[in-house]
């Protein structure tokens, strides 16, 4: 019990020392992870049952997103350096939301392949910019803890998301995708406001970190 109490106190201390932007990124990261795992695993069901694609076509289509994400990750960091981590983060959310709606709106296999490719690029940009933001506004002493928390919320989303998706799937096959798309747009709007209103404060945090 003493060990648990000490661990809890240590964890609270580390959390209290984190800047607000880190809190925002971790909490919204949890929301994104939950809604992503709530919808994306059921794309195969939607493609096969609603669009009538064969298992081979569905398998290829689902492979396009991680493949393009892997390929684009090579230059994703460079693009983030050019555009800036904040702009890249916002762009990734917008592209991901558009792709989700496109999965529902279009039934052409070729168009959906293109959408899946763009989706892979968007998630590559999201992962790169999210990690960059986490490291930019965290001191070197706590950066490993922040990344551990971020990794934990992603795994939590992987547990909760599919269970929530099964529940929503009984209402409508497209409902999880619509909710995910709306969530991404709302988070995007939130960060546009946050980044603009706290620009100087964020710059101060970066300067303090580099001292």
pLDDT in tens, 119-176: 999 999 999 999 888 888 887 777 888 888 888 989 999 999 999 998 998 898 899 9
Average pLDDT, the chain: 84
pLDDT band at 96 (very low <50, low <70, confident <90, very high): very high
What is residue 83's predicted lDDT score, i.e. its pLDDT?
83
Mean pLDDT lowest for which of 1-15, 110-124, 179-193?
1-15
More confident residue, 149 or 199: 149
Q: How confident is the model at residue 41 (pLDDT cuts 50, 70, 90)?
A: confident
State how far the alpha carbon of 177 is from the alpha carbons of 35, 36, 37, 108, 174, in Å: 8, 9, 10, 18, 5
- 76 is a domain residue: yes
pLDDT tens-digit series, residues 60-93: 999 999 999 988 887 777 777 788 889 999 999 9
Q: Is 15 a member of any domain?
A: no
Q: What is the pLDDT of residue 205?
A: 54
Q: How many Å apart are CA 71 and CA 184, to the nearest integer?
A: 23
Residue 65 domain-assigned? yes
CATH number at residue 198: 1.20.1250.20
Whole-number Å distance between alpha carbons of 28 and 26: 6
Tokens matching residue 107: 């039934």
Instruction: Give mean pLDDT, residues 48-69.
Output: 93
Q: How many domains does the chain have?
A: 1
The whole-number average pLDDT for the span 30-40 is 94
Tell me what the mean pLDDT of segment 54-64 comes to.
94
Rounded Cα distance, 29 and 40, in Å: 16
* Residue 43 in domain: yes
Any domain includes 14: no
Distance CA 99, CA 53 (A): 19
Residue 7 within a domain: no
pLDDT of the residue at 16: 56
User: Domain range spanning residue 111?
Assistant: 27-210
CB-based burial, 3-38: b 16+ in 10 Å, e otherwise: eeeeeeeeeeeeeeebbebbebbbebbbbbbbbbbb
| Domain membership flag for residue 17 | no
What is the CA 68 to chain-centroid distance, rounded? Answer: 16
Is residue 169 a part of any domain in this protein?
yes
Q: What are phi and psi of 171, to 5 degrees?
A: -85, -50
pLDDT > 90 fraction of the chain, expressed in percent and rounded: 54
């Amino acid at each position: 019990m003493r060990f648990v109490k000490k661990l809890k106190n240590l964890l609270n201390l580390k959390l209290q020392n984190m800047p607000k932007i880190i809190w925002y990124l971790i909490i919204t990261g949890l929301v994104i992870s939950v809604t992503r795992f709530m919808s994306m695993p059921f794309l195969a069901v939607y493609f096969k049952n609603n669009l009538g694609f064969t298992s081979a076509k569905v398998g290829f289509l689902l492979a396009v997103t991680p493949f393009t994400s892997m390929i684009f990750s090579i230059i994703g960091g460079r693009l983030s350096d050019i555009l800036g981590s904040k702009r890249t983060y916002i762009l990734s959310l917008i592209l991901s939301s558009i792709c989700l709606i496109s999965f529902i709106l279009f039934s052409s296999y070729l168009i959906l392949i293109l959408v899946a490719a763009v989706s892979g690029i968007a998630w590559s940009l999201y992962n790169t910019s999210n990690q960059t933001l986490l490291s930019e506004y965290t001191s070197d002493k706590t950066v490993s803890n922040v990344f551990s928390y971020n990794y934990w919320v992603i795994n939590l989303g992987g547990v909760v998301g599919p269970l929530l998706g099964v529940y929503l799937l009984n209402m409508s096959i497209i409902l999880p995708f619509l909710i995910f798309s709306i969530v991404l747009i709302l988070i995007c709007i939130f960060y546009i406001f946050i980044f603009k209103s706290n620009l100087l404060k964020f710059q101060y945090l970066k300067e303090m970190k580099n001292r």
